[in-house]
Amino acid sequence: MKTLIVDDQKRICLPDVEPKQVFAYEKQGAKITLTSLESAKPRPARLVRENGRTLAVSDRPMTLEDTKAALADWP
């Protein structure tokens, strides 16, 4: 069993985890359980028509490849 110490900003450094990894936190009395969660994958970019204009809609910044893929699906 390893001992981890909480710093002044309530952070713990966990060995063997990747940056930006997401965990579910559950507290049961004095016991704390962290469960690793799968990251939600961003939806692909899509093109929509609004007020006679074509707009690209995405959850993240679009690359040229995203734009080409969205245009390939465009009717």
Q: For residue 10, what pLDDT band results from cuts at 50, 70 and 90?
A: very high
pTM over 0.85: no
Cα–Cα distance, 24 to 33 (Å, whole number): 8
* Residue 62 amino acid letter: M
The 10s digit of each residue's pLDDT in 31-66 is 989 999 886 676 777 788 889 988 878 777 878 887
Residue 18: both structure tokens together: 């990747």
